[in-house]
Chain A
């Protein structure tokens, strides 16, 4: 199984809502990543978890809160988002958190903040 799954596929939320994005992989990978991609821009790294511990936080606002409950699962909790946070959120995993390992990506969650 070389698949990374993400749910939901699409999410519309108001600025006062609390929602979560979910990512799952069963490849035995020990590093998982969250990226944000705005239209016509490259994906931007947000967070990296390595062995279930947060290893990189690229100065992301606290309204985004990642969580890695176990080695297969990665969540992104969203609260009090702004319309400019509307984007495609991609999850990825790799064998370990060294950046010379290829990353396996999920299909993304398209988030719209109204």
Chain B
């Protein structure tokens, strides 16, 4: 089992604040890094899939960066809104076709 860690475990921010969280993964045999948003009582929803070192992806107010050499990815949310409240999961894929989700960061945006 590979170690995919996310921090912090949970986060409470005020509406309008910007925030970021981290996904750490093994730096060897990297293939892809996924980010998903999982709202309560809904299905996990894909945000980004990144494959290249230095990749930066953006979707509205959410963006992500990738450093495969040191084994981390950051997810940023600019101007958090209550509808951003969810658990954010990263998932790491290696060249051995293994696929592991991280432990998740639970975000609560307070109106």
Contact = CB atoms under 8 A, between A and B. Distances in A.
A56 B99 CA distance: 11
A100 B43 contact: no
Given A42-B89, A56-B97, A108-B43, A103 B102 contact: no
What does DSSP make chain B's interface, helix, strand, loop or mixed?
A: strand
Contacts, number: 48
Interface of A: 4, 41-45, 56, 90, 92, 99-108
B104 A99 contact: no
15 contacts: A43-B89, A44-B101, A45-B100, A90-B43, A92-B44, A99-B31, A99-B99, A100-B32, A100-B49, A103-B34, A104-B43, A104-B46, A105-B36, A107-B41, A107-B42
A62 B56 CA distance: 42
Contact of B46 (A42, A99, A103): A103
What does DSSP make chain A's interface, helix, strand, loop or mixed?
A: loop
Nearest to B103: A42
CB-based closest 5 A-B pairs: A99-B93, A42-B101, A102-B46, A100-B32, A105-B43
